[in-house]
Amino acid sequence: MTMITAKPNQFKGYSYLLILLSGMILYACTQGQSKNTGLSKSMKDHSKTKVFGEMVAELTSPPHVPPPIGNRPAMKLYMEMEIIEDEMVMADGVSYVFWTFGGTVPGSFIRARVGDEVEFKIKNHPNNKLPHNIDLHSVTGQGGGAEASFVAPGHEKTFSFKLINPGLFVYHCATAPVGMHIANGMYGLILVEPEGGLPPVDKEFYVMQGDFYTEGKFGEPGLQPFDMQKAYDERPDYVVFNGSVNSLIGENALQAKAGETIRIFFGNGGPNLASSFHVIGEIFDKVYVEGGDQINYNVGTTLVPAGGAAILEFKAEVPSNLVLVDHSIFRAFNKGALGVISVTGEKNNKIFAGEIMEGIYLPEGGTIQKMPVDGSKVTQPSPMNKSELIEAGKKIYMQACFACHQSNGEGVANAFPPLAKADYLNADVNRAIDVLLNGLSGEITVNGKKYNSIMPSQQLKDEEAAAVLTYVYNSWGNNGTHVTPEMVSKRRKK
């Protein structure tokens, strides 16, 4: 057997190489850590940070946030929050008894800085029926303050704590049954800024997702009670931003201008579902992952767990309606997790020019499109009669229309209008043809209810458009209109 031995000076070389490699790895790791340091400027022990003066903290209702902290020193902060149980709107025609911090869902936004000492007063309104408390994920101590803040209706409690970790944190009620209190809307966000504050931006918004469980299905009108079995089974009827289906759309849409930098403080109250948060038409320049130190750059969709949060920053480059969604997409378009940031301003065609042409797609290329023929004439198909149009139209409807308007024509409450017994449809066939050909956006009223969604134009031939409209007009109690290809062609030329 042959043994391989190394000379003494060879060991010295190996040792030197290992030391060099170790140093390079350590340098790379520390460089990566410093690059990703977002909220935490250092590992300083903020339990020893001295406070200078005192002030009453400003708490704000969603989607608003208090002014930035900036360079102010750590202070003693006085905070006061009232718990209110109240019936409020979940969706058009649907109400729910929410349990709230400060009268809103989510609860009031709290903004402080690391090192602050907080004296927190929590009040349980005398008209409430249940005891409550508050667990702040930013608090180091028993239950995040839950035990010290347990308060019966008509009473108040004051407790104190020191903020020793920067970040964006959820707070929620932790009174048994905890899941039920959270499911009824008892959650919010507390931001603990680092020393020196966060970098300045032009606009800041407060958005929080929650899942709700009602005895009635989505859109069923009236006062809807909480359904504990659905909550156990994690089968929400509503998944919404800021407590209701319409909280961030229409006249409630968030407002910004092209060129402005935007920061969203996004939280997920749960109680059950994680959120795949996405803004359609934008890319997050920065994501403070789970509201902490690590920053990810150039992110399209970010995962936020139940009871978690994230800080999202981007620049609104061009005017558009940016659509906020949970990209578990049926939650957005069928359960309410939908919002809009309306960005106005000058267009920038270098970034987005919109549609620049429309043509015919020829998979084989433009030169090979005809088969050789034997000289016989090709007969044109005869026009379809009404019953044939209805039969053909049903197939087109089930391919292109049923996802939004449903197979029974009832639509989706608060999102897509019904086609069944639809006064908007039956009143004007020419308007119906125009909508199919050209699309529709903006608010309309159908059967006494308002809808404000978008229907894109449908790329259909005249006979196909006539077929699907004839099917709709002759289904679900509509007026039986027979739409012909000639009627469609006439409207297309207008």
* Cα separation, 62 vs 267, whole angstroms: 12
The answer to whether the annotation marks 137 as part of a ligand binding site is yes
The answer to whether the annotation marks 132 as part of a ligand binding site is yes
Strand-strand pairing, 117-124 and 76-91: parallel
In the block, which residue shows the tokens 């209190």? 181
The answer to whether the annotation marks 327 as part of a ligand binding site is yes
* Structural tokens at position 282: 């934008």
DSSP 205-230: EEEEEEEE-BSSPTT--EEPPB-HHH
3-state secondary structure of 390: helix
The answer to whether the annotation marks 173 as part of a ligand binding site is yes
- Please report, in angstroms and rounded to a whole number, the separation of the first and last CA atoms in the chain: 95
Q: CA 181, 185, 186, 192 torsion: positive or negative?
A: positive
* Cα separation, 259 vs 351, whole angstroms: 12
The answer to whether the annotation marks 88 as part of a ligand binding site is no
The answer to whether the annotation marks 278 as part of a ligand binding site is no
* Cα separation, 172 vs 3, whole angstroms: 68
State the burial class of residue 23 (Cβ atoms within 10 Å of its Cβ: 0-12, 13-18, 19+): exposed
Exposure b/e, 378-416, CB count within 10 A at least 16 = b: eeeeeebeeeebbebbbebbeeebeebbeeebbbbbbbb
Which of 425-432's residues contact partners 24+ apart within 8 Å by CB, and which partners? 425/472, 425/473, 425/478, 426/473, 426/478, 426/479, 426/481, 429/469, 429/473, 429/481, 429/483, 429/487, 430/487, 430/491, 432/469
The answer to whether the annotation marks 208 as part of a ligand binding site is no
Q: CA 432, 438, 440, 444 torsion: positive or negative?
A: negative
Binding residue numbers for Cu cation: 132, 137, 172-173, 181, 186, 327
Binding-site residues, in ranges, read: 132, 137, 172-173, 181, 186, 327
